[in-house]
Amino acid sequence: MEKKKVVVGMSGGVDSSVAAWLLKEQGYDVIGVTMQIWQDEDAQTQEENGGCCGLTAVDDARAVAQTIGIPYYVMNFKKEFKDFVIEDFVREYSLGRTPNPCIRCNRYVKWEALLQRCLALGADYIATGHYAQVVCLDNGRYALKAAPSSKDQTYALYNLTQEQLSHTLMPVGQYTKDEIRAIAEKIGLKVAAKPDSQDICFVPDGDYTRFLEDYTGKKAPQGNFVDIHGNVLGRHQGITHYTVGQRKGLGLAMGHPVFVTQIRPDTNEVVIGENEDVFSRELIAQNLNFMAIEPPKQPLRVFAKVRYAHGGAWCTVEMTDKDTARCTFDQPVRAITPGQAVVFYDNDVVLGGGIIKQAVKN
């Protein structure tokens, strides 16, 4: 019987490295691939960063492939990354939203572009080192199940399609991070103790505003800080400097802590309020993707996360049209941020999710 062929996206980190080894141990015909998406041979900061997309990723991944005995290639996806991730990132910030570029990269680059290219080359699956588990449910649909690890990454993968999931393997999803590092050390991988990548790959220093200014060649114009009644409180440095819930770096002497409650790109205003003003019970989500279920025809009770680090909260989801939903939480939720994702869960299974269009102020 011919072995199933799987292409593993290797970032040079410990998770994808062990994923490749596990799949080889399971009897797959494994090929390692590193995706060039942002690397620039002249970008010294990328070399020094050495994160999931830094230049050192190629060297580390190639060494791992040699150690475990699999073929290894580098594929160029810079155009796809620019078109689907960078351009969206810049556009969203200009509209006063706070995007999550990893979500778009997962859907449109790491899956859509890589999967189609690999299928065309005769592969049966692609695989990654994400902490999530692909499951086929009793209703015949594919879904993601949360990993037992505290590193669970299902939030950033909610918008994968049924076609993509049916050709995806995630072998590290049943392990904890400590277990993966132990496996890497046991089989002699030099990346066993390599630190996790924390920052967005194309903004290694975390300075989003400077990146946006360098990329577009222009600074966001200054405008007014206003309170919820429209009274001017001071001047802000440009809406790209701020996000909902932010307290630090405002430069306002109010005598007590105040927070960004809303960003208004149409009037170039940043709205400032008290802590209680940052909470909302409702949000509107769009660009929905349902994974474990078809789009619900009736109100649906779910456990929802409004950002990666959110612990989650119970809410009721009601479709308002085919691609928009209203989510009403049982209790007010802090800092619901336009541009971030809201992801729906049934226990540890991802039902689906969408992009937050707005928080509804009651």
Whether the CB-CB separation of 358 and 338 falls below 8 Å is answered with yes
Catalytic residue among 52, 53, 102, 201: 201
Q: Can you count the helices (H) and strands (E) in the chain?
A: 10, 17
Q: Are 100 and 157 in contact (CB under 8 A)?
A: no
Q: Which of 52, 105, 118, 327 is catalytic?
A: 105
Catalytic residue flag (residue 105) = yes
Helix (H) / strand (E) element for 279: namely: strand 279-290
Torsion on CA atoms 198, 278, 93, 205, rounded to nearest 10: -30
Q: Sort residue 312 into left (φ over 0), alpha (ψ -120 to 50) or beta.
A: left
Query: How far does Cα 116 stand from its chain's mean position?
Result: 21
3-state secondary structure 15-55: HHHHHHHHHHHCCCEEEEEEEECCCCCCCHHHHHHCCCCCC
What is the DSSP pairing of strand 341-346 with strand 324-334? unpaired
Burial of 230 per CB tally in 10 Å (0-12, 13-18, 19+) = exposed
What is the C-alpha R_g of the chain?
22
Cα 239 to chain centroid distance, Å, stands at: 22
- Catalytic amino acids? 105, 201
